[in-house]
């Protein structure tokens, strides 16, 4: 999002009252900002291990989606506006099916991606495992993937009756099979290098 100039006497909102407009006024200072259910979250840039996992999985998803003309794969930083929720969030990777490509706008995604991936960092794992877990399910994300670079695991969840259900937790030597992106498989050791 383009950052607006901050008036000198601007009053930042209380936690729980943040809006997209407030978010757009935040400085471009190297921190990663997200608004989840009206609360502001910030974290520093990710570690290199995080980035290695993210780029490997994003690349594999991108190549598969392009080869099969399945949809679009994008990665952070990217604002995702989830309907009826005070957002934006910035998932590490998103997949939007071709049939729903209209939610991908020039500045951001305005709607619910089919697949969202979060790669854990030491400072954001609680948000990814708890807060975003609930919010993404509430929004209707069909598949949620949590990558743990340190533990070298990938957890795959699918949406069932408004809540995420664990399909499996996969370690080195195992492969993950997407339920949403039919035919896509990823070897954990390829995504999470030693």
Over residues 126-164, the pLDDT tens digits come to 777 888 899 999 999 999 999 999 999 999 999 999 999
Q: How many helices and strands, by DSSP H and E, does the chain display?
A: 5, 12
pLDDT confidence of residue 190:
97
Tell me what the mean pLDDT of segment 70-74 comes to. 98
CA-CA-CA-CA torsion for 181, 183, 184, 185, nearest 10 degrees?
Answer: 140
Question: 28 φ, ψ to 5°?
Answer: -90, 80
Give the model confidence (pLDDT) of 5-61 as tens digits. 555 677 888 888 888 888 888 877 777 787 888 888 877 778 889 999 999 999 999
Evaluate if residue 86 carries a pLDDT over 70: no
* Domain 46-191: homologous superfamily in CATH: tt1808, chain A (3.90.1570.10)
3-state secondary structure at position 190 = helix
Q: CA 6 to CA 105: how far, in whole Å?
A: 25
Q: Which residue has the higher pLDDT, 74 or 1?
A: 74
Contacts of 4 (CB under 8 A, 6+ apart): 24, 25
pTM of the full predicted structure?
0.83
Our CA angle for 172, 178, 181, nearest 5°, is 145
Q: CA 193 to CA 191: how far, in whole Å?
A: 6
pLDDT confidence of residue 2:
52
pLDDT confidence of residue 125:
76
Q: Which residues pair with 36 in a beta bridge?
A: 39
pLDDT confidence of residue 129:
81
pLDDT confidence of residue 7:
57
pLDDT confidence of residue 98:
97
Q: CA 45 to CA 15: how far, in whole Å?
A: 22
Q: CA 123 to CA 107: how far, in whole Å?
A: 27
Is residue 194 packed enough to be buried (19+ CB in 10 Å), middle (13-18) or exposed (0-12)?
Answer: exposed
Residue of 151, 159, 154, 143 whose CA lies nearest to 176: 154
Evaluate if residue 100 carries a pLDDT over 80: yes
């Amino acid at each position: 999002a383009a950052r607006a100039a901050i008036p000198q006497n601007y009053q930042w909102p209380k936690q729980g009252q943040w809006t997209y407009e407030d978010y757009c006024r935040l400085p471009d200072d190297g921190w990663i900002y997200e608004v989840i259910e009206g609360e502001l979250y910030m974290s520093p840039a990710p570690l290199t291990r995080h980035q290695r996992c993210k780029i490997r999985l994003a690349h594999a998803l991108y190549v598969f989606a392009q080869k099969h003309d399945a949809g679009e794969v994008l990665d952070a930083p990217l604002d995702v506006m989830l309907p009826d929720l005070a957002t934006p969030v910035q998932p590490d990777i998103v997949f939007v099916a071709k049939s729903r490509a209209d939610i991908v706008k020039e500045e951001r995604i305005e709607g619910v991606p089919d697949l969202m991936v979060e790669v854990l960092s030491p400072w954001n794992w609680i948000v990814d495992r708890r807060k975003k877990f609930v919010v993404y399910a509430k929004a209707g994300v069909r598949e949620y993937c949590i990558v743990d670079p340190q533990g070298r695991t990938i957890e795959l969840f699918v949406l069932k009756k408004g809540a995420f259900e664990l399909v499996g937790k996969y370690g080195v030597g195992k492969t993950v099979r997407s339920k949403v992106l039919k035919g896509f498989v990823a070897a954990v050791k390829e995504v999470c290098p030693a």
